[in-house]
Structure 1
Amino acid sequence: MDKKMTVIDHLGELRYRLIISVVTLFAGSIVIYLNMDKVILWLTAPLSGKQLYFIGPADGFFTTIQIAVVGGIIVTLPVLIYQVIAFILPGCTRKERKAIFLAIPPALILFGLGAGFGKQVIFSLVLRFFMGVGEGYLNPMLLGGKYFSFLLLLTFVMGMVFELPLVMIVLSWLGLVKSRKLRDTRLYGYVGILLIIGMMVPTPDVLTLVAICAPVILLYESSIWFIFFMEKIKRKKENVNYA
């Protein structure tokens, strides 16, 4: 049995984890900052040669710092997550610890896939749509700060959207949802996905919207069947125990 920690012990542990997190984040941000030219080139690829501008004297500097910090968070995310888990783990039961460790790899993978899909596919479509509408009667002057903020926000949101399967599985593990109910109402889930992504990503036609939503719908459907097989295995174990 784990040794009980006092309030002072918890505060000391929290300080230790925060120091490690800050130092790691600082190191990651420095790495991104030193490679800023390559990072900017990669982030501005969807612009197809269009220039970015800044208005205030310090806008360019703060935009660069913003990219360095966000990039630092991304490259050091496994370490940062580990520090959070290491802090809360002593207060968890054995079952909760097992669930946390099992959830970390798929959570990171799903977020990475969603963020990559958001940056490489969604953002390019959104940018093309907005620029196409605006350029009909206005000359664009894209501000660097707003461009990167919009890109980072959209990328983060798509990363979180791709966490949908993990959320569904956790809800099932807690007994809040059942696969049968999800199967019966899957049509509403599909419509909800189309509506949410449709509001995020304006597209000129329905086929493009369906193509964008297809990966999320596939994840949603696969989650339903994964939960179904989890329930089936659980029932088999219960029948063996009762026998």
Structure 2
Amino acid sequence: MNENKFTLTEHLAELRKRLFIILIVIIGTSSICFLYVDRAIQDILKPASQLEFVYLSPPELFLSYVKISLVAGLIISSPITFYQIWLFIKPGLEKSEKRIMLISLFAGVFFFIAGTTFAYKIILPITIEFFANIKVEDIEPMISFGSYIGFISSILLSFGLVFEMPMLVALLTRFKLISAPTLRKNRKIVILLVFIVAAILTPPDVISQMLLAGPMLLLFEFSILISSILGKEKKEENILKRIPSSSN
């Protein structure tokens, strides 16, 4: 049993403390990012270099700057955020659970960054080029900067979350909540859910949905492989634990 136990009042006080630290760090990093938002905008506009943008209301550009700064602040402060989460859940975990959760937190950061990078480098240029090539005579494109920020934010966030799938499956497998045979058995249902989730997460267009659904299906198959490997390791551990007792 874990000796580090908190009363409900102490638990809530600890939670308030961690949330306060996270909030202060996010506000601080977002404020710093706002000072350098012009550099961030140059990178944001690279995938859409063939487009011209306007803003349709007086506060739209300013609010877009704030949104960009907030997103950048969230990303930069994410290591501290995950560290505060780790400090909060650590006292309630057993020794083996601590190792699993610590690895999961680091893996979660890695997969999220991998997902957003993949979306920025590959998915966004393809999607924007496709829509830019759809032209109608006598109709000039007038794209607001605010709508563009909303579009790429949804794409980046969607891919960042979707790339968490292998880590989530590995975590659930270690805690015996799912297994590789269960995932294989329900493959058809998962494929249906993948397309539903892709339709919800992405903007309302078929291209974005298909570009998200494809990697999701590949990640699902990769997750099955991870679950299978972890399942075999768990069986071997159980066998090794039984050997001393059987010899006695």
TM-score (norm 1): 0.82
Structure 1: segments with no counterpart, 5+ residues: none
Shift of 1:27: 2.3
Residues in 2 aligned to 1:137 and 1:217: alpha-carbon distance in whole angstroms? 40
Shift of 1:175: 2.7
Indicate whether 1:52 and 2:53 are aligned.
Answer: yes
> Secondary structure of the equivalent of 1:44?
helix
CA contact (8 A) 1:126 1:202 kept: no
**RMSD of the TM alignment (CA)?**
2.9
2:26 aligns with: 25
- TM-superposition CA deviations, 1:180-239 (whole Å, max 9, x none): 3434555765676567658846349xxxx68x7665444333322222222222222222
Shift of 1:152: 0.8
1:12 aligns with: 13
The change in CA–CA distance for 1:92 and 1:148 in structure 2 (over 3 A counts) is same
Aligned-pair identity in percent equals 25
2:163 aligns with: 162
Q: Which amino acid aligns with 2:206?
A: P
The change in CA–CA distance for 1:135 and 1:10 in structure 2 (over 3 A counts) is farther
Q: Which amino acid aligns with 1:29?
A: S
CA contact (8 A) 1:172 1:227 kept: yes
2:87 aligns with: 86
Structure 1, 9-18 or 114-123: larger mean CA deviation: 9-18
> Secondary structure of the equivalent of 1:175?
coil
1:227 aligns with: 227
Deviation above 6 Å: which 4+ runs of structure 1? none
Residues in 2 aligned to 1:9 and 1:195: alpha-carbon distance in whole angstroms? 41
Q: Which amino acid aligns with 1:19?
A: F
CA contact (8 A) 1:17 1:84 kept: yes
Shift of 1:67: 0.7
Residues in 1 aligned to 2:137 and 2:224: alpha-carbon distance in whole angstroms? 44
1:144 aligns with: 145
Residues in 1 aligned to 2:116 and 2:133: alpha-carbon distance in whole angstroms? 24
Shift of 1:44: 0.9
Indicate whether 1:202 and 2:206 are aligned.
Answer: yes
The change in CA–CA distance for 1:3 and 1:226 in structure 2 (over 3 A counts) is closer
